[in-house]
Amino acid sequence: MTDSGMFGARGTGDTSGYGGLARSAASTGSSERPYGGYFDGLVDDLERAYPEFSTSIERVVVDRGELTLHVKREKLVETSMVLRDVLKFEMCMGVSGIHYPQNTGRELVAVYPLLSMTNNRRVRLEVSVSDADPHIPSLVEVWAGNNWHERETFDMFGIIFDSHPGLTRILMPDDWQGHPQRKDYALGGIAVEYKGATIPPPSERRSYS
């Protein structure tokens, strides 16, 4: 029986929230002009300052009052330099990774929120790469503050930021196996060592039922 129900539950209609509700990644297309607000002016400025705009920017998305530019990986540093020097985006608020295992060829996404204090504007850059070739050029040369953020995203998602000055794990121990925030990495299930004894992960312990 298919029943969309008043709460919009799809699939199994599982009410526990833990039984694997149907989840699919959002895939919005490109937005149409006018974008609204300062976004039109911002994109115009970028087009004028950056002749390769059409070949570097794959999509321009405006959603919920926020502007996202999807940038080709090879052009990321170039685009960032223009955004920093000409459009005065002085600050990069770090990088956040997202893992979409079902998006074949673009499994890993890096998101950079930029801030221009001069013009009081925000824009977001998004770069997607495949799991088989998880390389993205580092932006530490452009915004030095991205150093630790890129290390964190490498640590958690396994995205390799090329030409980063020291891409090592930052939050997890140096000898940790795997990248914990990927979707194929289960929550929990880590054996605990205590006073020399190893306590198996919760999923492998005795059950008394």
Partner 1 sequence: MTAFDPYAPSRETTEGTVFSVTGGDWDSLVQEIGSTKEERVVVNMGPQHPSTHGVLRLILELEGETVTEVRCGIGYLHTGIEKNMEFRNWTQGTTFVTRMDYLGPIFNETAYCLAIEKLLGITNDVPERASVIRVMMMELNRISSHMVALGTGALELGAITPMFFAFREREIVLDIFEMISGLRMNMAYIRPGGVQQDLPEGAIPKIRDAVKLMRKNFKDNTNLLVGNSIWLKRTQGIGYLDLAGATTLGITGPVLRSTGLPWDLRKMQPYCGYENYDFDVVTADTCDVYGRFLIRMNELEQSLRIIEQALDKLEALEGAPVMVADKKIAWPAQLALGSDGLGNSLNHIREIMGTSMESLIHHFKLVTEGFHVPAGQVYQGIESPKGELGAHVVSDGGTRPYRMHFREPSFNNLQATAAMSEGGMIADIIAAVASIDPVMGGVDR
Binding site for partner 1 (CB under 8 A): 7-9, 14-18, 21-26, 28, 63-66, 68, 90-94, 96-99, 111, 113, 115, 117, 120, 122, 124, 143-149, 152, 156, 169-173, 180-181, 187
> Least CB distance from residue 154 to partner 1, whole Å?
13
Q: What angle do CA 52, 126, 89 make, to 5 degrees?
A: 70
Beta carbon nearer to partner 1, 131 or 152: 152
CB nearer to partner 1: pick between 51 and 201 = 201
Q: Which is nearer to partner 1, 21 or 160 (CB)?
A: 21
Query: Rounded CA gap, 72 and 106, in Å?
Result: 12
Closest separation between CB of residue 14 and partner 1, Å? Answer: 8
Which of 81, 78, 82, 68 lies closest to 110, judged by CA? 68
Whichever of 138 and 147 has its CB closer to partner 1, that residue is 147
Residue whose token pair is 């002016």: 41
Q: Supply the angle between the helices 76-85 and 39-49 in degrees, to the nearest 10.
A: 110
CB of 51 to partner 1, least distance (A): 26
Token pair belonging to 146: 């991205």
Question: Least distance (Å) from partner 1 to the CB of residue 92?
Answer: 6
Closest CA to 128 of 97, 94, 165: 97
